[in-house]
Chains A and B, each alone.
Chain A
Amino acid sequence: GESVGLHLPTLSVQEGDNSIINCAYSNSASDYFIWYKQESGKGPQFIIDIRSNMDKRQGQRVTVLLNKTVKHLSLQIAATQPGDSAVYFCAENPGSQGNLIFGKGTKLSVKP
């Protein structure tokens, strides 16, 4: 079965607020994690990644936090904009195989 899952299937936020999307993973051997954004009718788009030797990584308006103790991953989006509305997937590489394992996704809706 899937080892990656999400705490919240849907998230609605006000434009300008910060968003936090959470993800739990179960494979302690995973050494690489990625967040993807998927807009309607499009393929997933890479947002940010993090390796297991880090606990935080920042990009433009996005931050990924990794807590290996509780096997938790989160994506923080600062000053959420309508263009951020999409489904967000976390994915992990368990280390023993080449393919990523994806969670079911969280739908982020941004209210103007």
Chain B
Amino acid sequence: GAGVSQSPSNKVTEKGKDVELRCDPISGHTALYWYRQSLGQGLEFLIYFQGNSAPDKSGLPSDRFSAERTGGSVSTLTIQRTQQEDSAVYLCASSLISGSYGYTFGSGTRLTVV
């Protein structure tokens, strides 16, 4: 597609429920990133995928968070047993390759845990 697409744009969930957030990167971009942005804060790195290499999961805050990328394209970020502190905007970005190129970000998924 023309840009990075994320869905849903907004998600309200009850504490303890699992949620899945989807990211469709730009076609041909081999690198895909997930970041989290709390209200009024900067971007916190979560995980990134580069081609067929093992993902860098070093930013995931707990084992309740996981992500996968199928076929080198679409990615899903899953949060299990959501907590109120998980409330944030989850941003996905893609780039041609990792490291030395700017990212193109999606508009994010605003997650609210009640």
Residues of A within 8 A of B (CB): 2, 31-32, 34, 36, 41-46, 49, 51, 89, 91, 93, 95, 97-105
| 8 interchain residue pairs of minimum CB distance | A98-B98, A43-B105, A104-B42, A102-B43, A46-B102, A98-B99, A99-B48, A102-B42
Q: Are B91's CB and A98's CB within 8 A?
A: no
Convert B37-49 into 0s and 1s, putting 1 for each residue whose CB lies closer than 8 angstroms to a CB of A.
Answer: 0000111010010
Shortest CB-to-CB span from B69 to chain A, Å, is: 14
User: Which residues of chain A are within 8 angstroms of B59 by Cβ–Cβ distance?
Assistant: 99
Shortest CB-to-CB span from A98 to chain B, Å, is: 3
User: Please, which residue of chain A has its CB at the minimum distance from the CB of B31?
Assistant: A98
Given contacts A43-B91, A43-B108, A44-B91, contact A100 B103 (CB under 8 A): yes
User: Which residues of chain A are within 8 angstroms of B48 by Cβ–Cβ distance?
Assistant: 98-99
User: Please, which residue of chain A has its CB at the minimum distance from the CB of B45?
Assistant: A99
CA distance A34 to B103 in the complex (A): 9
User: Which residues of chain B are within 8 angstroms of A46 by Cβ–Cβ distance?
Assistant: 102-104
Q: Does B33 contact A (CB under 8 A)?
A: yes
Number of A-B contacts (CB under 8 A): 60
Q: How many residues from B make CB contacts under 8 Å with A?
A: 24
User: Which residues of chain A are within 8 angstroms of B102 by Cβ–Cβ distance?
Assistant: 34, 46, 49
CB within 8 A of B45: which of A31, A51, A101, A104? Answer: A101
Q: Are B42's CB and A103's CB within 8 A?
A: yes
User: Please, which residue of chain B has its CB at the minimum distance from the CB of A5?
Assistant: B42
Convert B20-46 into 0s and 1s, putting 1 for each residue whose CB lies closer than 8 angstroms to a CB of A.
Answer: 000000000001010100000111010
Task: Enumerate B74-111 residues with CB–CB distance to A below 8 Å.
Answer: 91, 93, 98-100, 102-108
User: Which residues of chain A are within 8 angstroms of B98 by Cβ–Cβ distance?
Assistant: 98-99
Shortest CB-to-CB span from B66 to chain A, Å, is: 17
Could you pull out 5 A-B pairs where Cβ atoms are within 8 angstroms?
A42-B108, A43-B93, A43-B108, A102-B42, A105-B42
